[in-house]
Amino acid sequence: MRVLGVDPGLTRCGVGVVEGRPGRPCALVAYYVVYTDPEDDLALRLLHLDRSLGDLVSEHRPDAVAVERVFSQHNVRTVMGTAQASGVAVLAGARAGLPVTTYTPSEVKAAVTGSGQADKKQMTTMVTRLLRLPEPPKPADAADALALAICHVWRGGTRSKLAEAAQRARRGGTR
Amino acid sequence: MRVLGVDPGLTRCGVGVVEGRPGRPCALVAYYVVYTDPEDDLALRLLHLDRSLGDLVSEHRPDAVAVERVFSQHNVRTVMGTAQASGVAVLAGARAGLPVTTYTPSEVKAAVTGSGQADKKQMTTMVTRLLRLPEPPKPADAADALALAICHVWRGGTRSKLAEAAQRARRGGTR
């Protein structure tokens, strides 16, 4: 399966695409960082992010999208922009008809390093090793997005499938 | 000018459309509340909101969109969903090529009631009076969206014009 991971941010939004199967090594397809100018109007910034993510989804045709879940405990100054960017990222997947799963930072860290408390350096090291890259992804913002994509591949999109089944059940099997 | 106001929310998103000129009474065009099911997947909810807002923008062809600015001081349990919904609302305006302005709750209250500390009841009373409605908007969620639209009409889209001018200046007049 091919997964597009998004580490949402309004100023820097990491995007990583990997391909793989649960329990097997993943292969890097591509990674990007979408930048928007903090001095620009919010509407222009969200529009740029929306179009960039839409383009990357069209280009890479992933089977699923994984987005980091945003918490209000994050940096209060930037959390609203991050939440808005995450909404745009989830929407980009949904609009393409793809299943979208959100993961907490701890879930991603645990999947990739074995510890939910891993630091940024450890995450980058593991992503570099797991994808057998000659050097760490640059800029570093892309590493978290790649980790999200790896996390989703290894979990086999389980949560998304469970959520879909639950939803079908609630709707009496009409979907 | 015709303004579409959005009081963003993931479960209930108020939308109000009014027409008017600065210093003159505004006229009601329409109001709505877009609902999404809290038990549904986040992706489905944002997609439903995105499509509904896109449809309302196409239907009413406003000259501008006004969206309430979300603060992290809001209810922490729901603030992330509200922020994501606000991102989708700003995007709906931007995607239609419209100027989008955000206002703080205090700015809207001050514009409509004369006091930045007005309560919900006072806001609803003033919106009902200003639009000369036979009764308060129902559901009440729509009143805040109408107040946002009135606020934007009365301020004559000033902030948005200033922001555009500043952006043009920064870009050396290329836009």
Domain boundaries along the sequence of chain A: 2-170
A69-96 average pLDDT score:
86
Which residue would you say has higher pLDDT here, A11 or A172?
Answer: A11
Across the interface, whether the CB atoms of B84 and A87 are under 8 A apart is answered yes
Query: Measured between CB atoms, which of A46, A72, A102 is closest to B76?
Result: A72
Across the interface, whether the CB atoms of A94 and B43 are under 8 A apart is answered yes
B125-150 average pLDDT score:
93
pLDDT at A163: 57
pLDDT at B163: 57
List Cα–Cα distances, A81 to A22, B11, B152, in angstroms.
33, 20, 22
Which residue would you say has higher pLDDT here, B70 or A166?
Answer: B70
Give the whole-angstrom CA distance, residue B2 versus residue A66: 38
Which residue would you say has higher pLDDT here, A86 or A22?
Answer: A86
A136-144 average pLDDT score:
89
pLDDT > 70 fraction of chain A, expressed in percent and rounded: 86
pLDDT at B166: 65
pLDDT at B57: 98
Q: What is the pLDDT of residues B4-23, one digit of tens each?
A: 999 999 999 999 999 999 88
pLDDT at A139: 85
**Do residues A81 and A89 lie in contact, with contact meaning Cβ atoms separated by under 8 Å?**
no
Residue A75 has pLDDT above 80, yes or no: no
A11-25 average pLDDT score:
93
Nearest CA in chain B to A96: B47
pLDDT at B76: 65
Active-site residue set of B? 7, 68, 141
A11-39 average pLDDT score:
94
Q: H/E/C letters for each residue in chain A?
A: CEEEEEECCCCEEEEEEEECCCCCCCEEEEEEEEECCCCCCHHHHHHHHHHHHHHHHHHHCCCEEEEECCCCCCCHHHHHHHHHHHHHHHHHHHHCCCCEEEECHHHHHHHHHCCCCCCHHHHHHHHHHHCCCCCCCCCCHHHHHHHHHHHHHHCCCHHHHHHHHHHHHHCCCCC
Tokens (6 digits) for B43? 């992706």
Give the whole-angstrom CA distance, residue A148 versus residue A5: 5
A58-75 average pLDDT score:
87
Tokens (6 digits) for A113? 């390093």
Mean pLDDT lowest for which of A67-71, A142-146, A150-154, A163-167? A163-167
Residues of A in contact with B87 (CB under 8 A): 46, 83-88
Q: What is the pLDDT of residues A97-112, one digit of tens each?
A: 999 999 999 999 999 9
pLDDT > 70 fraction of chain B, expressed in percent and rounded: 86
Burial B100-117 (b: 16+ CB within 10 A, else e): bbbbebebbbbbbbeeee
pLDDT at B136: 94
Peptide bond into A25 cis (omega under 30): no
CATH topology of domain B2-170: Nucleotidyltransferase; domain 5 (3.30.420)
pLDDT at A174: 40
Nearest CA in chain A to B40: A167
A31-42 average pLDDT score:
96
pLDDT confidence tier of residue B175, bands split at 50, 70 and 90: very low
Give the whole-angstrom CA distance, residue A34 versus residue B55: 28
Across the interface, whether the CB atoms of B99 and A46 are under 8 A apart is answered no
Q: What is the pLDDT of residues B24-79, one digit of tens each?
A: 889 999 999 999 999 999 999 999 999 999 999 999 999 999 999 987 665 666 78
pLDDT at B155: 86
pLDDT at A171: 62
